[in-house]
Amino acid sequence: MRVGPTSALVIVALALSSLSSTRPAHAQSACLSGKLEAMARKEAGLLSCLAGVAAKGRAAGFPRCIRKVASRFARAYLDAGRCGEERTLCECLTEQCAIAVRLVLPDAGPSRCEAARLRAAGTQARRKVGCSAEAARTGSTVDPACLEKAEARLRAVFGRTGHCTGEQTAVEAVVNEECVRGLGADPTGGGTIGALCTSHACDGVD
């Protein structure tokens, strides 16, 4: 059957409309994923800086370390695009995560044991938030198996380190609540990713 000019224009208009409606959704998903990845890396980076302090028992080099982490975060967060909350709020929440973890792993050092636990907590936070970043990118729910892999690594590190402060369950609880859920990520699996930086811990930050 021959399609007239008017019908052809309608078909083209509908096709273009469909494309324009899917592209922003895809861009939004990529943006959310990128911002979650940026925050995850900052949390892990800050905890790695704190691990360096614990290992040496002194804070030499710590300010430079956190400046480097903050600079990388700012670039990555900006590059992800425009979605979610402003950078200052999300940045504050990543710092709250690091502070909360350090409070449950308070050994001042020098302690390679405590340093290993701090790094393991940072790795768990990065990987768990990464599970949500992947879900945001693909438009799917957060995979519990992905989260379980992150939990297994922390358990392994705690099993090898028994001469420093911190209980595994307490550390996991802080990571789940402050470092994962606080950013708008899902620490247990099965959820979808929408709003970022949902914790009220940094309310009032400009």
Residue 196 lies in a domain: no
DSSP secondary structure code for residue 182 in this structure: G
pLDDT tens digits along 132-186 = 999 999 999 999 999 999 999 999 999 999 889 999 999 999 999 999 999 999 9
Model confidence pLDDT, tens digit, residues 21-56: 333 456 678 999 999 999 999 999 999 999 999 999
User: For position 175, what pLDDT does the model report?
Assistant: 98
Tokens of 118: 């701090």
14 inside domain: no
Contact criterion met (CB below 8 Å) for 189 and 143: yes
User: Residue 73 falls within a domain, yes or no?
Assistant: yes
- The answer to whether position 192 is within a domain reads no
Evaluate whether residue 82 is within a structural domain: yes
Domain range for residue 143?
Answer: 28-183
Q: Is 86 within a domain?
A: yes
Domain count of the chain?
1
DSSP letters, 92-161, are HHHHHHHHHHHHHS---SS-HHHHHHHHHHHHHHHHHHHHHHHHHHHT-PPPHHHHHHHHHHHHHHHHH-
Q: What is the pLDDT of residues 74-113, one digit of tens each?
A: 999 999 998 866 889 999 999 999 999 999 999 999 999 9
Question: What angle is formed at CA 182 by the lines to CA 179 and CA 188, rounded to 5 degrees?
Answer: 75
Residue 15 pLDDT: 40
pLDDT the model gives residue 206: 62
Is residue 77 in a domain? yes
Query: Does residue 203 lie in a domain region?
Result: no
